[in-house]
Chains A and B, each alone.
Chain A
Amino acid sequence: MKTLPVSKAVFGTAVVIFLMAPLFAILPLAFTDSIFLNYPIPGFSFRWFHELFTANAWRWSILNSLVIGCGTTILATVLGTIAALGLRGNSASLFFSFFRTAFLLPMVVPAVVLGVGMQLMFAQYGLANTYVGVIIAHTVIAIPFVVVNVTAALQGIDRRLENAAASLGASPAVVLQQVTLPLAMPGIVSGAVFAFATSLDEVVLTLFVAGPNQRTVARQMFSTIRENISPAIAAAAFLFIVGTVVIAGLVLLAQKKTQRA
């Protein structure tokens, strides 16, 4: 059994390298002082970060990503949490399993299909090329993450706690607010983070439903890479990754805290 820890370590490292290598390949290029996105790096500079925050197209896209990301997070978290609460505990009924599947559908339906459908529909309702439209589109694909996370959290709650609260005089609304939601909070927070990350990451739907005014960072990177391959992309990617790591760290911290409590 001595070989097991060794092989575990080797295998684990290999997988991590496989997953991380592309990131490590692109990240140093964020600090190049050349105008080309390739190695070797002639010198170190922050010029591409500077470009990111001064060039109008990039500045707008960062702002757009934040606005759309926050909107999506709020909408998806609220709707997804309500859905998870509604679907709770009725596992046997056909009606409920239909809805449970329906809420997860956006995860498996190809984004292109969703995008075409939304474009047609949004045009009808005057939502094409609007912030609201993009937020709705992102919410659709973010909801499954919230539903999955909150459902898992709700499953971990002992029903007897809610019964106890009721017997002590708490109405159903108070039980929800004082017992159920606080206990499900780690799942709700992870769901929200996933929703935000999904929105940041989204390109395909955005291509279909967003106009030039709703250009997000992901969308901007996508077009920049086609038009002129500038190291600003690497700088944007760097910010993306740092942002993600920070958020993931915050979630871990929050979960640790609730676990200890």
Chain B
Amino acid sequence: MSDAFIHFDKVSKAFGIVTVVDNLDLSIGRGEFVSMLGPSGSGKTTLLMMLAGFENPTSGAISVGGKRVDALPPHKRNMGVVFQNYALFPHMSVADNVAFPLKMRGASRSEIVERVTKALDMVQLSAFHERKPIQLSGGQQQRVALARALVFEPEVVLMDEPLGALDKKLREQMQMDIRDIHHRLGLTIVFVTHDQTEALTMSDRIAIFNHGKIEQIGRPSEIYDRPKTQFVAEFIGETNLLGGKVASSSNGVLNVILDGGQPISVASATTQEPGKHVKVSVRPERIELDSPGDGQNELKVRVTDIVYHGDHLQVLVDSGHRSFVVKATRKAVAPQVGQEIIASFSPEQCWIVS
């Protein structure tokens, strides 16, 4: 992407002999909301810290708005940062914490009061403005950190798991607020989270991290519906991986013989060598039980366990060769443990992962 606003060009970061970010390319457009998702220790915070200017890349270049920022100290980067541990100033009141960036920018007294009040209203903490951070709960501290990073309306906001300590209701409320602010102010947001639902619902694009590299980056629907690798498929949502061998491929359809001997067809834009071992991924909610249709892949399975989830049932089935998970919607007639049944899914709902 040439019109990228934030651009990482072959950026690596090593601490001693450990490479934490590995030759990473990433472009983020102006006003884009990009989430970073990945296992603990995969380098998300380190990437954020390099963007904010607290760590220097070992090699590579970072530019913002077309200008390299490598030599720019953190206080000149004009980015709002919400740290993983909040990093509120313990010796200042909540209001003074939120006022800090405004004071640094020489705002007038009345303007500071007005904007601090507005920011604290947004995070529903107006009643707490005189308290010290230590007198707040974890979730309240997190909201102060959020208000502090947003109050000066920076162009770029970096958030490191900003909603992790909130309960579900408040988290959903804050998600809405952040999205709203994002749209209203046209902020560019880089958002680290462990919550995949949060990433799927809030982001324009999601980057999946693994061992300091981006495994896949794309729109939420691409990431969820067409994960390219086994890692991504398993990291986002649940998946069933079926091993098999390519038998033939013709106009967009691969014929795969599963390891148990059943043939299935897989829609695929790319062709594969016959005889090649492949892994087919299919999401549990894409599999239907006992409603075989035309042109569907069908597997004869036996129900081994049923787990009640309220709005759906998680059904474990066994094809004799492997077991897999089916997410079954609630129907009048629920499957029974031990029952022989047909599991089916269409060729478009499964894909090859590497």
Contact of B78 with A by CB under 8 A: yes
- Cα–Cα distance between A258 and B90 once the two chains are bound (Å): 10
- Cα–Cα distance between A213 and B74 once the two chains are bound (Å): 54
- The residue that A163 contacts in the complex, of B54, B90, B91, with Cβ under 8 A, is B54
Number of B residues contacting the other chain (C-beta, 8 Å)? 26
Main secondary structure of the interface of B (DSSP, over half): loop
Q: Which residues of B contact A158 (CB under 8 A)?
A: 85, 87
Most buried by A among B78, B80, B88, B90: B90
Please provide the chain B residues from 52 to 72 with a CB less than 8 Å away from any CB of chain A in the complex: 52-54
Contact A169 B104, beta carbon cutoff 8 Å: yes
Contact B74 A166, beta carbon cutoff 8 Å: yes
Closest A residue, CB atoms, query B81:
A167
- Cα–Cα distance between A161 and B100 once the two chains are bound (Å): 12
Contact of A254 with B by CB under 8 A: no
Contact A170 B104, beta carbon cutoff 8 Å: yes
The proximity string for A residues 165-182 relative to B, scoring 1 for CB distances below 8 Å and 0 otherwise, is 111111110110011001
Contact B77 A168, beta carbon cutoff 8 Å: no
Contact B87 A183, beta carbon cutoff 8 Å: no
- Cα–Cα distance between A61 and B151 once the two chains are bound (Å): 58
Contact B152 A160, beta carbon cutoff 8 Å: no
Number of A residues contacting the other chain (C-beta, 8 Å)? 21
Main secondary structure of the interface of A (DSSP, over half): helix
- Cα–Cα distance between A167 and B91 once the two chains are bound (Å): 18
Contact of A164 with B by CB under 8 A: yes
Most buried by B among A163, A166, A168, A178: A168
Please provide the chain B residues from 73 to 132 with a CB less than 8 Å away from any CB of chain A in the complex: 73-75, 77-81, 83, 85, 87-91, 100-101, 104-105, 132
Given A158-B87, A161-B87, A174-B104, check contact A167 B75 (CB 8 Å).
yes
Q: Which residues of B contact A6 (CB under 8 A)?
A: none
Closest B residue, CB atoms, query A259:
B134
- Cα–Cα distance between A174 and B74 once the two chains are bound (Å): 13
Contact A164 B104, beta carbon cutoff 8 Å: no
- Cα–Cα distance between A169 and B54 once the two chains are bound (Å): 13
Q: Which residues of B contact A164 (CB under 8 A)?
A: 81, 83, 87-89
Contact A160 B83, beta carbon cutoff 8 Å: yes
Closest A residue, CB atoms, query B74:
A166
Contact B74 A261, beta carbon cutoff 8 Å: no
Contact of B148 with A by CB under 8 A: yes
Q: Which residues of B contact A183 (CB under 8 A)?
A: 90-91
Given A167-B80, A169-B105, check contact A160 B87 (CB 8 Å).
yes
Q: Which residues of A contact B100 (CB under 8 A)?
A: 165, 168, 170, 178
B156–chain A nearest beta-carbon distance, Å: 11
Please provide the chain A residues from 148 to 164 with a CB less than 8 Å away from any CB of chain B in the complex: 158, 160-161, 163-164
- Cα–Cα distance between A160 and B74 once the two chains are bound (Å): 12
Contact A261 B80, beta carbon cutoff 8 Å: no
Q: Which residues of A contact B87 (CB under 8 A)?
A: 158, 160-161, 163-164
Q: Which residues of A contact B78 (CB under 8 A)?
A: 169
Q: Which residues of A contact B80 (CB under 8 A)?
A: 167-168
A3–chain B nearest beta-carbon distance, Å: 38
B99–chain A nearest beta-carbon distance, Å: 10
Closest A residue, CB atoms, query B93:
A261
Contact A166 B83, beta carbon cutoff 8 Å: no
B157–chain A nearest beta-carbon distance, Å: 10
Contact A168 B90, beta carbon cutoff 8 Å: no
A-B contact pairs, 23 of them (CB 8 A): A160-B83, A161-B89, A163-B54, A163-B74, A163-B87, A164-B81, A164-B88, A166-B73, A167-B52, A167-B74, A167-B77, A167-B79, A168-B80, A168-B104, A168-B149, A169-B104, A169-B152, A170-B104, A172-B73, A175-B75, A179-B89, A261-B91, A261-B132
- Given known contacts A165-B89, A167-B75, what 7 new A-B pairs fall within 8 Å (CB)? A166-B74, A167-B52, A167-B81, A168-B104, A169-B78, A170-B75, A172-B73
Closest 5 CB pairs of A and B: A169-B104, A164-B87, A168-B101, A166-B74, A167-B81
